[in-house]
Amino acid sequence: MWRAPRSPRARVRIIGRCADTRNTPQVHAAVAGRAGIMVGFAARSGPVAQWWSRGLIIPWLQVRILPGPPHRQLPEASTSASRRRSTGEGGGLTRVERYGRTHARTRALTPLIIGAGVLLLAAALGLAWALTAGTSSASAPTVADAGLTQSPASSLGETPSSGATGSAVGLDIEVPDVVGKSVQVAEALITAAGLTVQTRVSDVGSAGVKVDAVLEQAPSAGVRVQGGSVVTLTYQPKYGVTASGKTFVVVVDAGHQAKPDMGLEPNGPGSSVRKAKVSPGVMGVATGAQESVESLAIALRVREALKASGVDVVMVRTADDVNISNSERARIGNRAHADLVVRVHQSFSSDPVLEGVTTFFPSGNAWVTAIEMPSRAAAQHLEDAVVRATGARKHDIVGRSDLSGFNYSTVPAVMIECGYLSNRAEDAKLATPEYRLKIGDGIAAGVMDYLRTL
């Protein structure tokens, strides 16, 4: 938190008391407290005061510089015992005694005091002006009032009136509007307003959400609360980077391509089983949409959402007119040392009623033993998150041993089939940008859910 610089030789008291009830000693106390300056009180006359009394909101206010030790905040409404403990250099003196001493030293420094006082008065008035609008508590005497309006001796040992000792407690402070601001800036603003910050992580998945910005605040902006009240900020932290500073890498593979490659390749390293390098994708029964085009649109949204969360994203392809075999796609993930490879596809069935989201993970052969467990965990996160984001029908996640894109992978990998292009209604939904966006955000949220477990 920012603190006002303090001179080692002199401390400053903004000493004010205003006839205007909106500018109470408590207000000045809060202003001064925020700026790291102590509040006191001055006589109600003098040229500066008279000048301010002409038509300005703050009728009179005076500032004194009190030479002495660096200021230490006194406990508010304290007992005499606690006052003694907290008087710093003053040792066992009460506030009033100490005031008497510093008052004497003040006179010796009068020329300096007047010059600096005028400058400080201007600064204090600016702050007070900004912060006192609408404040309605009535003017009340302060401890320092007693020190100035009575002789130090006569007020010695007098118990200060509680609630008027420069404390911000009891003040009517307006909660600032910090939604959308970065958490760092929001914390600074709320602290500067004399309130206390508490943060909490949003329950909402991070996909599509501005990272490290305040999503919600409680109480809302404009609500009036007491000084020191807690303002809770809800935000989505940047999860793309681990505590150790490592940035997560996710490879996104939009399934298929404009033209299939029916040339064969082993379905795993050294395998005798051979499969098409890139099989033709499926096509929507209602819309005629191509799986490769649809998957790419969703994959690009996944990239956008993951990047917003601070993840490094590697795309296997960003265009439809490419030729990259499934084994090569897996190698892209391996070379990137991906924390997860996400393969985006669509389903097709002879059953026109079948619909919903299905997620596959590598399983059932020696090639994928090392990645099966984390891949299965990731698959469950993706299935859950996409169903949550879309309301689509949920299916059990399924282990697959026959997919080249899995069998060549040395890093965790999943394949999500976002919907059935054989289902007319689901096909129609998948053809809309809105639904693709929901799916993309759902996939990214699932990825983030998985990365958080690492």
- Long-range contacts (CB closer than 8 Å, 24 or more residues apart) made by 146-153: 146/96, 147/40, 147/41, 147/95, 147/96, 147/99, 147/100, 147/103, 148/15, 148/40, 148/41, 148/42, 148/43, 149/41, 149/43, 152/96, 152/97, 152/99, 152/100, 152/103
Part in contact with Zn ion (CB under 5 A); list of ranges 97-105, 196-204, 338-346, 439-447: 338-346
**Residue-wise over 154-166: b if at least 16 C-beta within 10 A, else e?**
ebeeeebeeebbb
Beta bridge partners of 12: 65
Identity of the residue, 25 or 255, whose beta carbon is nearer to Zn ion in the bound complex: 255
DSSP line for 22-69: TS-HHHHHHHHHHTT-EEE---S-SHHHHHHHTTSSS--EEEEEEESS
Write down the least CB distance from residue 256 to Zn ion, Å.
6
When asked if residue 28 is in the footprint of Zn ion (CB under 5 A), the reply is no
Identity of the residue, 78 or 326, whose beta carbon is nearer to Zn ion in the bound complex: 326
Write down the least CB distance from residue 344 to Zn ion, Å.
9
Query: How many Å apart are CA 329 and CA 361, to the nearest integer?
Result: 16
Write down the least CB distance from residue 400 to Zn ion, Å.
12
Query: How many Å apart are CA 390 and CA 429, to the nearest integer?
Result: 10
Identity of the residue, 296 or 378, whose beta carbon is nearer to Zn ion in the bound complex: 296
**Do the beta carbons of residue 415 and residue 405 sit within 8 Å?**
yes
Identity of the residue, 64 or 345, whose beta carbon is nearer to Zn ion in the bound complex: 345
Name every residue whose Cβ is closer than 8 Å to that of residue 145 and which is 6 or more positions away in sequence. 17, 25, 41
Count, residues near Zn ion per rule CB under 5 A: 2
Identity of the residue, 133 or 319, whose beta carbon is nearer to Zn ion in the bound complex: 319
Q: At what angle do helices 110-132 and 95-108 cross, to 10 degrees?
A: 120
Part in contact with Zn ion (CB under 5 A); list of ranges 5-13, 154-162, 332-340, 343-351: 343-351
Identity of the residue, 58 or 282, whose beta carbon is nearer to Zn ion in the bound complex: 282
Write down the least CB distance from residue 177 to Zn ion, Å.
47
Within residues 278-337, the interface with Zn ion by CB under 5 A covers: none
Write down the least CB distance from residue 345 to Zn ion, Å.
3
Write down the least CB distance from residue 232 to Zn ion, Å.
45
| Pick from 427, 420, 270: nearest CA to 358 | 420
Which tokens belong to 361?
């993970």
Write down the least CB distance from residue 281 to Zn ion, Å.
5
Part in contact with Zn ion (CB under 5 A); list of ranges 175-183, 196-204, 339-347, 360-368: 339-347
Identity of the residue, 250 or 421, whose beta carbon is nearer to Zn ion in the bound complex: 421
Query: How many Å apart are CA 96 and CA 146, to the nearest integer?
Result: 8
Identity of the residue, 109 or 354, whose beta carbon is nearer to Zn ion in the bound complex: 354
Write down the least CB distance from residue 397 to Zn ion, Å.
17
Which tokens belong to 163?
């609630």
Closest-by-Cβ residue to Zn ion is 345
The whole-angstrom distance between residue 59's C-alpha and the CA centroid of its chain comes to 41
Query: Applying CB under 5 A, which of residues 95, 275, 329, 345 lies at the interface with Zn ion?
Result: 345
Terminal C-alpha separation, the chain: 33
Write down the least CB distance from residue 374 to Zn ion, Å.
23
Within residues 229-258, the interface with Zn ion by CB under 5 A covers: 255
Identity of the residue, 237 or 280, whose beta carbon is nearer to Zn ion in the bound complex: 280
Write down the least CB distance from residue 444 to Zn ion, Å.
20
User: Taking CA 129 as the corner, what is the angle to CA 187 and CA 33, rounded to the nearest 5 degrees?
Assistant: 50
Identity of the residue, 199 or 279, whose beta carbon is nearer to Zn ion in the bound complex: 279
Name every residue whose Cβ is closer than 8 Å to that of residue 333 and which is 6 or more positions away in sequence. 251, 253, 314, 341, 409, 411, 413
Q: Under the rule (CB under 5 A), what is the footprint of Zn ion?
A: 255, 345
